[in-house]
């Protein structure tokens, strides 16, 4: 296995574990075999805050009309799952993911900047569908971008569940003029986090370090699923 791939997996494991420690909130499309914890329990406890107070606060954070959904489909039009986005507080969003039919392992998972999932639009970088969704939601270089999220970890049965809170985008941002889309990639995401010791030789431009593909997409590869964000009134 190439060093960079090995590193990418290690990075993905760390991030995946961070995402996996939080139980997935129930989503209508797929019910996890293990009973999912109520959504309120995924709220991280603030230091020194009694657990009961945190639960009560979390329960009131999501008000009607403060959520969005994206149904993610593959290039053949088959639904892979659902992403639910809720307002967590003024600056944060809670993202709950439920997928099936993925190849086992880690998958790069990003918000892309355009709310169009056209399976016929070919992504020139990878040859895959959904070029229409544009690049990652910015601003920020890959790894620090608004649209960067913990990768999905698909189990041997192809299911993936995740729930996390991010302050990198709000519902307003997802619903901006050109919308946005949640995209699942074929491979793991290294977040362009390549240590200096892996620097490659200078390329044609004289640049060293991670190449353009790594810096832009974290080498997550083909876009295998895409779901347009729909805000709920
Ligand atoms: Cu992406």
pLDDT at 58 over 50: no
Cα 32 → chain centroid: 19
Is residue 106 pLDDT above 90, yes or no?
yes
User: Residue 188's pLDDT is what?
Assistant: 95
d(CA 79, ligand 1 centre) in Å: 18
Give the pLDDT of residue 114: 97
CA of 135 to the centre of ligand 1 (A): 7
> How much distance in Å is there from the Cα of 57 to the middle of ligand 1?
33
Q: Dump the DSSP string for 48-89.
A: T--HHHHHHHHHHH--TT-EEEEEEE-TTS-EEEEEEEEE-S
Give the percent of the chain with pLDDT over 90. 54
Per-residue pLDDT of 170-180, as tens digits, reads 999 999 999 99
- 93 — pLDDT class (breaks 50, 70, 90): very high
DSSP 8-state code for residue 213:
H
- Residues 162-217: tens digit of each pLDDT: 999 999 999 999 999 999 999 999 999 989 887 777 766 777 777 767 777 777 77
- H-helix or E-strand containing 183? strand 181-185
Residues sharing a CB contact under 8 Å with residue 211, sequence separation 6 or more, in sequence order = 200, 203
How much is the pLDDT for 126? 82
Lowest-pLDDT range, 63-67, 132-136, 222-226? 63-67
What the chain holds in terms of domains, given with CATH numbers, is 3-33+57-231 (2.60.40.200)
Give residue 27's pLDDT. Answer: 43
CA distance 90 to 165: 12
Of 31, 22, 1, 4, residue with least CA distance to 149? 22
Distance 108 CA to ligand 1 centre (A): 7
CA–centroid distance, 67 to ligand 1, in Å, is: 22
Q: What's the pLDDT tens digit per position in 117-160?
A: 999 999 887 888 999 999 999 998 899 999 999 999 999 999 99
Rounded to the nearest angstrom, the distance between the alpha carbon of 163 and the centre of ligand 1 is: 18
CA of 111 to the centre of ligand 1 (A): 7
Q: How confident is the model at residue 30 (pLDDT cuts 50, 70, 90)?
A: very low
- In this predicted structure, the answer to whether residue 41 has a pLDDT above a threshold of 80 is no
Q: Give the distance (Å) from ligand 1 centre to CA of residue 97.
A: 16
CA 117 – CA 140 distance, rounded (Å): 23
Q: 184 C-alpha vs ligand 1 centroid, how far in Å?
A: 7
Please provide the average confidence, as pLDDT, over all residues in the chain. Answer: 78
| b/e code 85-109 from CB counts within 10 Å (16+ = b) | bbbbeeeebbbbbbbbbbeebbbbb
Highest mean pLDDT among 49-53, 58-62, 84-88, 215-219: 84-88
CA dihedral 163, 105, 158, 44 (to 10 degrees): -10
114 contact partners, CB below 8 Å, separation of at least 6: 132, 133, 134, 178, 179, 180, 181
Q: State residue 91's pLDDT score.
A: 94
Alpha helices, H only, 126-189: 171-174
* pLDDT computed for residue 214 by the predictor: 76
5 Cα–ligand 1 center, Å: 18
* Ion ligand 1 contact residues with beta carbon within 5 A: 110, 183
Q: What are the φ and ψ backbone dihedral angles of 124, each rounded to 5 degrees?
A: -65, -30
């Amino acid at each position: 296995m190439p060093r960079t791939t090995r590193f990418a997996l290690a990075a993905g494991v760390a991030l995946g574990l961070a995402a996996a420690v939080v139980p997935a909130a129930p989503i209508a499309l797929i019910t996890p075999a293990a009973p999912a914890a109520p959504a309120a329990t995924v709220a991280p406890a603030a230091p020194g805050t009694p657990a009961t107070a945190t639960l009560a606060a979390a329960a009131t954070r999501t008000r009607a009309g403060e959520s969005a959904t994206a149904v993610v489909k593959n290039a053949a039009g088959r639904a892979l799952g659902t992403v639910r986005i809720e307002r967590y507080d003024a600056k944060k969003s809670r993202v709950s993911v439920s997928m099936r039919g993925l190849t086992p392992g880690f998958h790069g998972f990003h918000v892309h900047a355009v709310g169009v999932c056209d399976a016929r639009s070919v992504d020139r970088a990878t040859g895959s569908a959904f070029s229409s969704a544009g690049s990652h939601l910015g601003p920020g270089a890959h790894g620090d971008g608004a649209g960067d999220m913990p990768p999905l970890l698909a189990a041997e049965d192809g299911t993936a569940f995740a729930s996390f809170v991010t302050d990198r985008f709000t519902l307003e941002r997802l619903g901006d003029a050109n919308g946005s889309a949640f995209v699942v990639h074929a491979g793991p995401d290294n977040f362009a986090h390549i240590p200096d010791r892996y620097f490659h030789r200078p390329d044609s431009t004289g640049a060293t370090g991670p190449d353009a593909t790594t810096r832009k997409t974290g080498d997550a590869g083909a876009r295998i699923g895409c779901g347009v964000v729909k805000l709920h009134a």
